[in-house]
Amino acid sequence: MIPGPIEFEPDVLQAMSMATTSHVAPDFIEVFGNSLELMREVWKAPKGQPFIVAGTGTLAMDMAITNLIEPADNVLVISSGYFGKRFQDILSRYGANTTILEAPVGEVVPIEDIEKALKNKPYKALTMTHVDTSTGVLIDPKPIAKLAKKYNVLSILDGVCSVAGETLQQEEWGIDVVLTASQKAVGVPPGLALLMASEKAIQVWQNRKTPVCNYYADWSNWLPIMKAYEARKPSYFGTPAVNLVVALETSLKIICNEGIDKRVKRHQKLASAFRKAIAALHLEILPKSNNIAANTLTAVFYPKGIDGTALRSKIASSNVIIAGGLLSEIKNDYFRIGHMGSVSVNDLLAVLGALERALIELEYPIANGESLQVFLQEL
């Protein structure tokens, strides 16, 4: 129950176990092409250009930056945790001039502060993190993307912990790049960097004045491959992760059969009930309010007087694995529970049961079964 890699659907794991075929075999080309088309449905970007590349979410971040940003470009980083700062690190590596708006822990950057920054200085792009996995904080990208459009600034959204789990309408909201990784709510084992670029983003890339500084991530190498596979033609730059792409198509079909809107509502419903169950145990979540709490994971402070390592160990003895903290400044103060993808009511009941047992064994004063009752009542 960590926030990625998650538990995967049996059909996805079965797809992973197939005999590895040639990356230019007709059946694989069909799978790859169909995956690209299904991505547009999940991202809600019918005119977008999808990319499927072997790598991690960090590679997807790297691809967005290295293709769209040139040395000395001004970029505004909107940060609500660890991964906002990672954007700044990547940007600095490519010579960008970064300005970071950093929210206090558990909060989001006010929209007024973002507009003030955009008014005071010309920027080529802004970056934002839809759900920061380190804090469990959820931002609303729609008004930020609207501001980016108003000031003619490219918008880049880190959707690693949100795509296929949180509300997203890339094209309608006017977001230029939305990126993610396979092992989160998309529901595929780790190893694929997934990215959707708008027509504007592709145009900006085509008009850049300097070469892309990262050979592997350069869209010049990958765009012809994506175009060829979607046209159901063989092509080659680097060997794709064949079995992972087959698993991706399987998972995207599952997502689209459920319906992306229905899937997001399921995440919202489960997360809301889970947060109320956590509150019933007199535990506090890291986001300052439920309005900015992610629906794909929950970050929870350890109760006072309870040793975090001991708590996680006792939970693990019930065969439930949760994640510790990630933000260095408060790493030992909180834990994180993932609830995305194929997560079920029974999964979260098992988590709450394990959490209750562990707390009771550590002599934390709670009533046995209280969180389970609240969770089921809310559902």
pTM for the full model?
0.97
Furthest-apart CA pair in the chain: how many Å? 65
What's 19's DSSP letter?
Answer: P
Cis peptide bond N-terminal to 240, omega within 30: no
What DSSP character marks residue 121?
S
- Residue 298 to residue 111: CA distance in whole angstroms: 24
Quote the pLDDT of residue 82: 96
**2: in domain:** no
How is residue 192 written in tokens?
């694929």
Mark whether 280 and 235 lie in a shared domain: no
Together in a domain, 295 and 201? no
> Where a domain ends, among 242, 258, 274?
258
Look at residues 258, 276, 298 and tell me which one is the last residue of a structural domain: 258
Average pLDDT over residues 170-182: 98
Are 95 and 153 in the same domain? yes
Q: Which amino acid makes up residue 286?
A: L
Q: What is the pLDDT of residues 3-32, one digit of tens each?
A: 999 999 999 999 999 999 999 999 999 999
Per-residue pLDDT band for 90 (boundaries 50, 70, 90) equals very high
DSSP secondary structure letters along 275-329: HHHHHHTT--BSSSSGGGB-SSEEEEEPPTT--HHHHHHHHHTTT---EE--SGG
Q: Which residue has the tokens 């780790």?
A: 190
Could you give the CA distance from residue 35 to residue 56 in angstroms, rounded to a whole number?
17
What's the domain range around 121? 10-258
User: CA–CA separation, 229 vs 53, rounded Å?
Assistant: 13
Question: What is the arithmetic mean of pLDDT over 26-53?
Answer: 98
**pLDDT > 90 fraction of the chain, expressed in percent and rounded:** 100
Same domain, 143 and 279: no
Claim to verify: residue 232 and residue 271 sit in the same structural domain: no
Could you tell me if 337 and 351 are in contact, meaning their C-beta atoms sit under 8 angstroms apart?
yes
In a domain, 149, yes or no: yes
pLDDT, tens digit (0-9, with 9 covering 90-100), for 253-286:
999 999 999 999 999 999 999 999 999 999 999 9
Which CATH number is 194's domain given?
Answer: 3.40.640.10
Please state whether the peptide bond connecting residue 5 to the residue before it is cis, i.e. omega within 30 degrees of 0. yes
Shared domain check, 221 and 73: yes
The helix (H) or strand (E) run that includes residue 36 is helix 26-43
> Is residue 5 situated within a structural domain?
no
Number of CB atoms found within 10 A of residue 145's CB: 22
Q: How many domains, in total, are found in the chain?
A: 2
| CATH number of the domain within which 312 lies | 3.90.1150.10
Quick one: pLDDT at residue 29? 98
